[in-house]
Structure formats: C-alpha cells, structure tokens
C-alpha cells in the first residue's frame, strides 16, 4: 500500500452531522496501492462479507460500509452506509494481508492507520443559475440527433450549427424547436439566432458556475461508483469518471440542492434508475461533467446535465431534467421531460 486518505494521524477530519440513517454522509476512507490489485480480494458490497478493508472506532466496533475499487484497481474506497462518522472520534482503518495484487501476491503485512474526526455540517449550495438556458429541455452546440420516435416535453435548440443538424421532428416535441437558420424541421422550427446565442452563452456560464463551486462535502465518494447509494444534498467532487451501475437515490427536501462535479465521464448502466425521495426535485440537481455522458438503455435519469462534450441517451432511456451539451446530444426513442418549476 502506497498511501491513505485521510492520512495516518490526521486530526480535524471533517464529517457531516446529517443524522438520517439511510443517507451516506460520512467521510470516505481510501487506500492507494502501487500496483493493480485483485478486486475480488478487496471489494465488499456489505459490511462484514469481506474483512480485507475495515474501519473501527475506538471501542473496536466495526463501522458498516461498502468497499469498492476504482477502474484501475489501484484505489480502494470504504464508504459508510449508515449515518455520518461520529464527530470528535478516533477511527482506525486496516487493510489485511488478504488483499492480493492482480498477479496474486498477498500483502506482506497488514497496514493500519488512524485519524480523528470533527463535526462539520454539510454546506448548503445555491442552485446553479441557468439563465435563459433554463427555458430549454435540450440545448446543444453541434446538433441533436434522433432515432424516431422520441418524446420531448419543453423547448429544444442547437447553435451555432445549422438547423439541419437538429433531427427531431415536429411531432416529437411538445414545445418550440429553435434553430439559427431556415434549415430546421418544418413547419415548426423557429428561426431565432439571437435567443439561441444568449441561451448557449448562459449554458456555458452555468457550467463554469457548477465547476467552480468550492469546499465539497464529499470527494471521490465510492471511488467513482455511486450505484446503490442514497445521497444527501451537497457538493460532490470526483477527479475521475463516475459510474451508476445500480439504482441509487437522492434524498432531501424540495429546496435542497445537489451539485456533482465530475472530471471524467458519467455513465449510467442499462436499466438502472435514479430515484428522488423526500420531496427532492430534479430542477435542483446539477451534473457538471467534463467528459461525455451516457444514459444506458431503458435507464431513468434525474437532474440537469451540464456536459462539456457529448450527451448520449441510449435506446428507450428516459430523463426528468435538462440535457445541455457543449457538443451534441444523441437520442434514441427517448422520453425527456423538463423538470417541474
């Protein structure tokens, strides 16, 4: 093992004071390795089913949690599955000799390190201001492709590319179709380059707003795997791609805000669902993604996508939210509905 986070001996490690027992709100603990590891010797979907990587408090009680490897199998992350880690408490993490490299070599000795937490409430975030882009359900710079028949509720538009790159038909959109020239779908296309230029500019501003939020409540949660979790409101940050490989839930009130900062791709597996609970609203969920976004076949997604590149919605998938791409949006028989205001 090459390093750990939090570091051995760290004090004042922040932990949320959220008290809901079904919301992930505690500090994650990560172990980094100098070579790829065998995930079968480390991953643990339930606390206690594999004790290679454990976290205990000062009484010796195991903290319930899950363990997941990153895509390169070089970082294992322990994520608490209950409420936050207790504030002002000493914790000890252990990686045992059961951990093996991809070549089958076991660790020579167990590694133990400790840290102490402090109370820190989750930082309440203001919603990202979408400006005039907030009137669109789908907005892109280089086109919107479509495999018929999709059903879009809300306005769509693309700019500065020609309207010929917007392939939705009039009957697929309950709303207006904005284009920059006379080449858009007839007879419904609205030729309004001024409105589109402003909206696309506001889309870029919103992306930078979300990207620029500081002091995240959670960093590198689940080593980029968030499927199966229930997430509290807050600011989440990853320096990697993020995968939704199982159904997961966003739980909070109608005014709570979630902002996800993703430095890589965002990929949602086929048939998996994002679910809102407790009154959470799609209009207050923002996914800032520096690479491509892929919503899997027949999957369901919630929130506003602020994509730097391609947003691809695969066959039969649905979304309650907005899809903004600084390149293209691709649709395949999808249902995309603007969120309630």
Task: Summarize the confidence of residues 107-112 as an average pLDDT.
Answer: 93
Q: What is the CATH number of the domain that holds 99?
A: 2.60.40.3780
Q: Which of 86, 119, 152 is the last residue of a domain?
A: 119
Q: Do residues 305 and 311 make contact, with C-beta atoms less than 8 angstroms apart?
A: yes
Q: Which of 119, 150, 165 is the last residue of a domain?
A: 119
pLDDT digits (tens, 9 = 90+) for 142-152: 999 999 999 99
On whether both 215 and 312 belong to a single domain, the answer is: yes
Q: Which of 95, 119, 143 is the last residue of a domain?
A: 119
Question: How crowded is residue 5: how many other Cβ atoms within 10 Å of its Cβ?
Answer: 19
Residue 201 lies in a domain: yes
Q: According to the per-residue pLDDT averaged within each range, which of 12-26, 173-187, 246-260 is highest? A: 173-187
On whether both 102 and 137 belong to a single domain, the answer is: no
Q: What is the mean pLDDT of the chain?
A: 89
Residue 126 lies in a domain: no
Q: What is the pLDDT of residue 119?
A: 67
**Omega before 39 within 30 of 0, i.e. cis:** no
Say what the pTM is. Answer: 0.74
Q: What is the pLDDT of residue 26?
A: 53
Answer with the residue of higher pLDDT: 72 or 269: 269
pLDDT digits (tens, 9 = 90+) for 31-44: 889 999 998 898 76
On whether both 83 and 151 belong to a single domain, the answer is: no
On whether both 137 and 46 belong to a single domain, the answer is: no
Q: How far apart are CA 151 and CA 334, in angstroms?
A: 6
On whether both 204 and 258 belong to a single domain, the answer is: yes
What is each CA distance from 186 to 134, 156, 162, 165, in whole angstroms? Answer: 24, 14, 14, 13
Residue 125 lies in a domain: no
Parent domain of 246? 131-337
On whether both 55 and 86 belong to a single domain, the answer is: yes
pLDDT digits (tens, 9 = 90+) for 53-70: 989 998 988 888 888 888
Task: Summarize the confidence of residues 273-289 as an average pLDDT.
Answer: 94
Residue 41 lies in a domain: yes
pLDDT digits (tens, 9 = 90+) for 308-341: 999 999 999 999 999 999 999 999 999 999 999 8
Nearest to 26 by CA among 101, 130, 115: 115
Tally of domains within the chain: 2
């Amino acid at each position: 093992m090459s390093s750990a986070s939090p570091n051995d001996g760290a004090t004042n490690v922040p932990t949320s004071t959220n008290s809901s027992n079904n919301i992930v709100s505690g500090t994650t603990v990560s172990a980094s390795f100098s070579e790829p590891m065998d995930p079968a010797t480390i991953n643990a979907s339930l606390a206690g089913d594999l004790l290679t990587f454990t976290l205990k408090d000062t009484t010796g009680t195991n903290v319930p949690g899950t363990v997941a490897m990153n895509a390169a199998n070089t970082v294992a992350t322990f994520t608490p599955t209950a409420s936050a880690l207790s504030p002002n408490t000493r914790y000890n993490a252990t990686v045992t000799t059961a951990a093996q490299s991809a070549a089958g070599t076991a660790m020579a000795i167990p590694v133990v390190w400790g840290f102490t937490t402090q109370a820190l409430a989750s930082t309440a975030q203001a919603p990202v201001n979408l400006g005039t882009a907030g009137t669109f359900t789908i907005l892109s710079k280089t086109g919107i492709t479509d495999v018929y028949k999709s059903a879009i509720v809300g306005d769509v538009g693309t700019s500065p590319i020609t309207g010929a790159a917007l392939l939705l038909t009039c009957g697929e959109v309950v709303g207006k179709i904005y284009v920059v020239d006379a080449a858009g779908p007839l007879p419904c296309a609205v030729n309004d380059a001024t409105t589109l230029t402003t909206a696309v500019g506001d889309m870029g501003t919103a992306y930078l707003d979300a990207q620029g939020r500081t002091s995240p409540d959670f960093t590198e949660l689940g080593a980029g795997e968030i499927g199966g979790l229930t997430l509290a409101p807050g600011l989440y940050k990853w320096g990697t791609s993020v995968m939704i490989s199982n159904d997961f839930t966003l739980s909070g009130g109608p005014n709570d805000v979630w902002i996800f900062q993703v430095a890589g791709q965002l990929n949602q597996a086929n048939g998996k669902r994002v679910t809102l609970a407790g009154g959470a609203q799609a209009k207050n969920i923002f996914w800032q993604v520096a690479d491509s976004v892929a919503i899997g076949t027949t999957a369901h997604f919630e929130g506003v996508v602020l994509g730097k590149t391609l947003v691809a919605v695969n066959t039969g998938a649905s979304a309650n939210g907005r899809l903004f791409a600084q390149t293209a949006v691709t649709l395949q028989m999808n249902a995309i509905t603007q969120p309630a205001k």
